[in-house]
Amino acid sequence: MAQLSFLGAIQQVTGSSYLLQTQSGGSILVDCGMRQGRRDDERGNGAPFPFDPTTLHAVVLSHAHLDHSGLLPRLAAEGFRGPVHCTEATAELLELMLLDSANIQEKDAEWENKWRQRIGKPSVKPLYTREETERMLELREPHGYESAFEAAPGVEVTFLDAGHILGSAIVQLDITENGATRRLVFSGDLGNAETPLMNPPAVLSRADVLLMESTYGDRDHRNSEETLEELAQILDQANHDGGNVLMPSFSIGRTQDLIYHLGALYQQGRLPQQVVFLDSPMAIRANDIYRRFLHQLDLPELAGLGSQAQSRVEQWLPILQATPSPEESMAINRIKRGAIIIAGSGMCTGGRIVHHFKHNLWRKECHLVIAGFQAQGTLGRAIVDGASHVKLLHQRIAVKAQVHTLGGFSAHAGQSQLLTWADGFKDRPALYLVHGEHDKMLALQQALQQRLAWSAQIPEPGQRITL
């Protein structure tokens, strides 16, 4: 019988990874994610894989976010040579994400080694290099939604739209052994049905084993209209206070949603700021990919704004200004009021948003809008939890800006949406909760039992089950 090992995103949100091994010797890794957040978790990114990468037939990737894809270059560097199966849009976004990640790994190692050299410590190597990443990217094998393919002997895989970000997929694996077929479904990251750009997650009805994410397993998101109204009020208050608005954002998914929402307010004449800066080279390039895949998005409001994708976006939010170069980014810091600044990283662990914090976070007239999940151990989580001071860029900065959290803009399904999606499985497969902090999993486990009379299990790291 086939066996499934729970390797990552177990009782935590990041590091998604699951190993499927069949009776005939097939071996498939579902996701190969990077751990993010706590320093100890991130150190685990360099630990040996709990399997031999050379024995894998394939990797099946749910989507491009680093917590699902970020260790692929390491996997290839250690001998994996099989295909990396993903959707067509994910294949393009993956190049963007991983080359940027490789650049960060190399720069981090360079800075670390300068410090180590001064105190006589041995040098360190980057987690992976750009060259290793480029070799890994040659292994990509894109597929369309709902188009079955064989990932290993006896294992047929189908991607279905997860509605999370462009290209995100629910992964369905049909495993045939001894004349019988069993179905394993991995939800991937399920989208919030109220997200403006994405289609609702595909509804499935049959599985034998189901792995379901639980990022927001403890609560529902606010209604999107209420959240948009709250954002409008924040922007009005920021305009009255005479400061800037900072929006840390993930380059893929969240940034595009924020641009849409700000455009909606602009179209209604309710955006008082003079300029919206998109200060993220990765997000700027991601926007280009989104434009090429507009046919996969749900955009009725933009349909009548011109025939070309570029013109539709420019007409939707004309005050959007992209700042790809470092010089353009630094120039933003001369602006003291009337600007909305969207920059990475989404959890405030690095990137250009940290530099904008240095110039704005200590100013009480400024506003900080947190519109995405902040993992434990991140700078963003510390601010959300009420830190009065934070350390960034080797300085201690006071947090005096007004901090707002807007859960309604989440790209993840909330508790009720997770329950509704799961209820589509009429045969009640064996259910395992993954990709969530332990308290969120417990809350979802209880809700599943109370509302659907369905007992879900919370696996332990490294646990192996027989399908």
> What pLDDT, in 10s, does the model give residues 265-282?
999 999 999 999 999 999
**Structure token digits, residue 20:** 């499927």
Kindly tell me the burial class for residue 271, based on how many C-beta atoms sit within 10 Å of its own C-beta (0-12, 13-18, 19 or more): buried
Residue 159 is predicted with a pLDDT of 98
Same domain, 313 and 175: no
Does residue 434 sit in the same domain as residue 308? no
> Angle, nearest 10°, between helix axes 281-292 and 309-316?
120
Q: How far apart are CA 8 and CA 444, in angstroms?
A: 19
**Pairing mode, strands 275-278 and 464-466:** unpaired
Look at residue 309 and tell me whether its pLDDT is greater than 70.
Answer: no
In contact, 431 and 237? CB cutoff 8 Å: no
> What are the E-state strand segments in 132-274?
140-143, 149-152, 155-161, 169-177, 180-186, 209-213, 245-248
pLDDT of residue 308 exceeding 80: no
Which residue is associated with the tokens 């989208």? 191
pLDDT of residue 247: 97
Return the ∠ at Cα 289 (arms to 285 and 290), rounded to 5°.
110
Rounded-to-integer distance, Cα 100 and Cα 282, Å: 8
Q: What is the rounded average pLDDT of the residues 175-188?
A: 96
Final residue of a structural domain among 409, 441, 456: 409
> What band does 43 get if pLDDT is binned at 50, 70 and 90?
confident
For residue 302, the number of C-alpha atoms closer than 13 Å in the C-beta half-sphere is 24
Please give the average per-residue pLDDT across 224-250, as a whole number: 95
Please calculate the CA angle 296-299-305 and round it to the nearest 5 degrees: 125
Relative orientation angle of helices 309-316 and 254-267, to the nearest 10 degrees: 60
**What span, in angstroms and rounded, lies between the C-alpha atoms of 244 and 358?**
13
pLDDT at 34 over 90: yes
In the chain, helix, strand, coil percent, each to 5? 35, 20, 40
Residues 333-351 pLDDT 10s: 999 999 999 998 888 988 8
Residue 125 in 3-state DSSP? coil
Q: Which helix (H) or strand (E) segment is 3 a member of?
A: strand 3-8
**Residue 366 tokens, joined:** 């400024």
Judge if 278 and 404 occupy the same domain.
Answer: yes
Confidence (pLDDT) at 111 = 84
Q: Are residues 171 and 285 in the same domain?
A: no
pLDDT at 54 over 70: yes
Q: Which residues on adjacent β-strands are paired with residue 209?
A: 184, 430
Query: What rounded mean pLDDT belongs to the chain?
Result: 93
Q: How is residue 35 annotated by DSSP?
A: P
pLDDT beyond 90 at 407: no
Render pLDDT for 347-383 as a digit per residue (tens, 0 to 9): 898 889 999 999 999 999 999 999 877 878 889 999 9
Cα separation, 461 vs 7, whole angstroms: 6
Q: Are 390 and 290 members of one domain?
A: yes
CB-based contact 187:212 (threshold 8 Å): yes
Q: In this structure, which amino acid lies at residue 199?
A: N
Is pLDDT above 90 for 173? yes
Threshold 0.85, pTM exceeds: yes
Query: Are both 258 and 192 inside the same structural domain?
Result: no
* Spatial CA neighbour of 373 closest among 440, 298, 296: 440
pLDDT recorded at residue 310: 55
Q: Say yes or no to pLDDT of 409 above 90.
A: no
| CATH label of the domain that carries residue 400 | 3.40.50.10890
Return the pLDDT at 222.
86
Q: Which two tokens stand for residue 364?
A: 């009480």
Q: Same domain, yes or no, for 40 and 171? A: yes
Confidence of residue 315 (pLDDT cuts 50, 70, 90): confident
115-165 pLDDT, tens digit per residue, is 899 998 999 999 999 999 999 999 999 999 999 999 999 999 999 999 999
Most confident of the following: 49-63, 254-268, 309-323, 380-394: 49-63
pLDDT of residue 377: 85
The length of the chain is 467
Q: Which tokens is 31 given?
A: 């996701």
Number of domains present in the structure of the chain: 2
Residues 333 and 440 in one domain: no
Q: Say whether both 208 and 104 belong to one domain.
A: yes
CA atoms within 13 A on the CB side of 463: 14
**Domain assignment of residue 368, given as a range:** 224-409
The answer on 290 and 338 residing in a single domain is yes
Backbone CA torsion sign across 263, 225, 406, 347: negative
- Residue 312: band (very low, low, confident or very high) from pLDDT cuts 50, 70, 90: low
Residue 304: what pLDDT?
53
pLDDT for position 459: 98
Same domain, 266 and 179: no
pLDDT, tens only, 17-31: 999 999 989 999 999
Single residue among 409, 432, 457 that ends a domain in this structure: 409
**CATH number of the CATH domain containing 34:** 3.60.15.10
Is there a single domain that holds both residue 437 and residue 357?
A: no
Q: Which is more confidently placed, 396 or 351?
A: 396
Convert the pLDDT of each residue in 285-302 to its tens digit. Answer: 999 999 899 889 887 766
Task: Look up residue 445 and give its two tokens.
Answer: 């486990």
Task: Give the span between the Cα atoms of 409 and 260, in whole angstroms.
Answer: 11
Q: Write the pLDDT tens digit of every residue in 78-93.
A: 999 999 999 999 999 9
pLDDT for 302: 61
